Amino acid sequence: MNTFVTRILVICTYLCVSATALYSVTSNDFEIPFTFEKGHVVISAKIKGDTSVEMVLSTGAQYSLINPGLLEKYKLQGAYTGEGIITGGDLDQIVVFVPVPDIRVGEVKTTSLNMRYGKAPTEISQRLGREIFGVLGVDFFKGRIVQFDFRNKMIRFFTHSIDAAAQSKSTILSMKSSEPPVRPIVENVTYNGSKIKTLFDTGALTVVSMTPTAAKQIGLSPPADKSSPRTDKATLKFGEIEFTDLPVTLYAKGSDFERSSSGFNAVIGIAVLQNFVTTFDFQRGVLTLEHK
């Protein structure tokens, strides 16, 4: 296990608190087991009707990603399209994707999902030492209500919204996004008392990651431009939940993290989220964390 992942998992243990599920699963709801491996939520899935694969779940990924090296094995065909305004010039942005038919996670089905080429599935495969087909992101979760129960290693898909009784025992946050599909971006998250728009991502191997703009806003010094990230500490609070002296990874101006941070300036990752029963209601744009 590499040093970075080891450090994250040690921090996970340090932060751990007790949590229990908000619901009893009804006949209309579904739950599937997952494994938690080196910081990744790994589930078994089916594609093309009955072909078994493994996927990783990432609530912060705007698009689902596929390992491009697997197209021939699974007899899939890549395609491409333009993104945004197409002018015919060198600055046009071309997106390469793969239509993957009949994806099924437990009893949850999609007719087809356009999964983009991405390096993340390949990197995860290397980290885990076996094939990971892809990463399921927000385009898969769109319109669904999904709960991550780390204590019981269960993913639950609900057909109903959280009731008032369950909400009264939990921290409720509003998820907002500047563009569809809705991503779990929360405005009312504070670091050292300052509000920073924050993405809650089960696919991020981090405690908290922060852009240089956010670091300056909360009184921390980001790394020099284009240099390696560095760690610092901050007090994190959302709702009634508070962590003091929490490790924060600060990224430099010009880093890949900064360039990909569209609509948010910080990411709360798996090292924090694994301590709660967390429900992402992509129907209503509500994020619920059960805590004790």
Per-residue pLDDT reduced to its tens digit, 6-23: 444 444 444 443 333 444
Q: For the chain, what is the mean pLDDT?
A: 85
Q: Does pLDDT of 160 surpass 90?
A: no
Q: What is the pLDDT of residue 107?
A: 83
pLDDT at 120 exceeding the cut of 90:
yes
Q: What pairs with residue 93 in β-bridges? A: 83
In the prediction, which pLDDT does 9 show? 45
pLDDT at position 271 is 96
Span 99-106, average pLDDT: 92
| CA atoms of 54 and 70, how far apart (whole Å) | 12
d(CA 54, CA 94): 27
* pLDDT category of residue 168 using cuts at 50, 70 and 90: low
Q: Return left, alpha or beta for 41; rule: phi > 0 is left, psi -120 to 50 is alpha, else beta.
A: beta
Q: pLDDT exceeding 90 applies to what percent of the chain? A: 66
CB distance 61 to 227 below 8 Å: no
Beta bridge partners of 111: none
Q: Which pLDDT does position 89 carry in this prediction?
A: 47
Q: What are phi and psi of 261, to 5 degrees?
A: -85, 75
pLDDT for 5 equals 42
Reported as a pLDDT band with limits 50, 70 and 90, residue 239 is confident
Q: How many CA atoms lie within 13 A of 208 on its CB side?
A: 28
- The correct CATH number of 3-290 out of 2.60.15.10, 2.40.70.10, 3.40.1190.20, 2.40.33.20 is 2.40.70.10
pLDDT of residue 162: 61
Q: Higher-confidence residue: 52 or 164?
A: 52
**pLDDT at 165 exceeding the cut of 70:** no
Residue 178 reports pLDDT greater than 90: no
Does residue 193 register a pLDDT over 90? yes
C-alpha to C-alpha distance for 111 and 276, rounded to whole angstroms: 31
Q: Is the pLDDT of residue 257 over 90?
A: yes
pLDDT attached to residue 111: 76
> Looking at the predicted structure, is the pLDDT value of residue 114 above 60?
yes
**Least confident interval from 48-52, 77-81, 121-125, 132-136:** 77-81
Residue 108 has pLDDT above 90, yes or no: no
Average pLDDT over residues 20-27: 44
For 162, list phi and psi in degrees, rounded to 5.
-65, 135
- Neighbour count for residue 184 (Cβ, 10 Å): 27
170-174, strands of its sheet edge to edge: 30-33, 154-158, 145-149, 277-281, 286-290, 170-174
Q: Order across the sheet with 190-191: list the strands.
A: 185-186, 198-200, 266-268, 208-210, 241-250, 230-238, 190-191, 194-195
